[in-house]
Amino acid sequence: MMPCCLRFGITLLLAVLVTEVWTQNPPLGSVRTECQGSVMMMMLDKSFVGKYFRINVIDNKGTLVSLSPRLAAQCGYSLTVDFLGNAKFLASVLSCFAQNTNDETYKLTVQISVFSNSAMTSASSYVQSMTCRYSPWAEREILCERNYMEVSVRRGVPLIEPNFVQDDPDWSLAYPEATAADNSIWKIVFHLPANRKTTMTVAQGMTNGYGINTTPTRILVRAAYNSTESQP
């Protein structure tokens, strides 16, 4: 039987090793972060990530969240790799797991796992944080990335300026439903061609792949380009 003190020593050593691997930073100069308006950007050098890597996010409880393509579009994340092999990871400041302070300061922490083989086993993992400020917000803002589109408005849903005519018909149709909803958002109404409407609860919308949320001052909806209610 293993002595108690020896078991404790081994357990403590393993805990220290796991913590060191979990919290290690990327090599100096291999990752560059930048704030671009309402988007957080992270550039990863090919010499660091190689051919096989994965980026997942860490929520405010320290839980690792695996990003599938569907969840990335629903939550406001995109990843591209250029012809040289350098990677670019973009996150909306209103993305699902960003820590939001009064709709002014945003922090996102991600885990970068680098693999030595195509089977993607035996990873070296690193943690990178990004912090950005974005304020003040416009009454309505639209963000279009490679895999999703996002629109957010101030809570209370203000009217469009009278001289702004491009979206007036659609906005006037949506406004009664939008203003009738409580700030917690209990339904979402899609306006389709031929005066058709599709109404969903928040739970239904999220099940169908839409991102729907409220922040201290805003209401947002996020959708993948191939979503059922999107129009070309």
134 and 93 Cβ atoms separated by less than 8 Å: yes
Q: Residue 92's closest CA among 71, 114, 76, 75?
A: 76
- Cβ within 8 Å of residue 12, ≥6 positions away: none
Instruction: Lay out the sheet containing 148-154: strands in order across.
Output: 140-144, 148-154, 218-224, 211-214
Averaged pLDDT for residues 100-126: 92
Q: What does the pLDDT read at residue 205?
A: 84
Helix (H) / strand (E) element for 19: namely helix 4-23
72 within 8 A of 66, measured Cβ to Cβ: no
Choices 3.30.1490, 2.60.40, 1.50.10, 3.40.1130: CATH for 30-133: 2.60.40
For residue range 132-185, list pLDDT tens digits in order: 999 899 999 999 999 999 999 988 644 434 443 334 344 344 444 444 444 445
State residue 231's pLDDT score.
Answer: 65
The pLDDT, as a whole number, for residue 227 is: 80
- Stretch (H or E) spanning 79: strand 77-81
Tracing tokens 């058709």 back to the chain, one arrives at 196
| SS3 at position 6 | helix
Per-residue model confidence (pLDDT) at position 214: 85
pLDDT tens across 4-51, in order?
433 333 333 333 333 334 568 899 999 999 999 999 999 999 999 999
Q: Determine the Cα–Cα distance for residues 75 and 80; give it in Å rounded to an integer.
A: 16
> Omega into 136 within 30° of 0, i.e. cis?
yes
Q: Say how far residue 192 (Cα) sits from the centre of its chain.
A: 27
Domain chopping of the chain, boundaries = 30-133, 140-224
Given this model, what pLDDT does residue 232 score?
A: 61
What's the one-letter identity of residue 87?
A
Taking the alpha carbons at both ends of the chain, their separation in whole angstroms is 69
Q: How far apart are CA 160 and CA 170, in angstroms?
A: 11
Spatial distance between the Cα atoms of 6 and 57, rounded to a whole number of angstroms:
36
Q: What pLDDT, on a 0 to 100 scale, did the predictor assign at position 156? A: 67
* Half-sphere CA count of 138, side-chain side, radius 13 A: 10
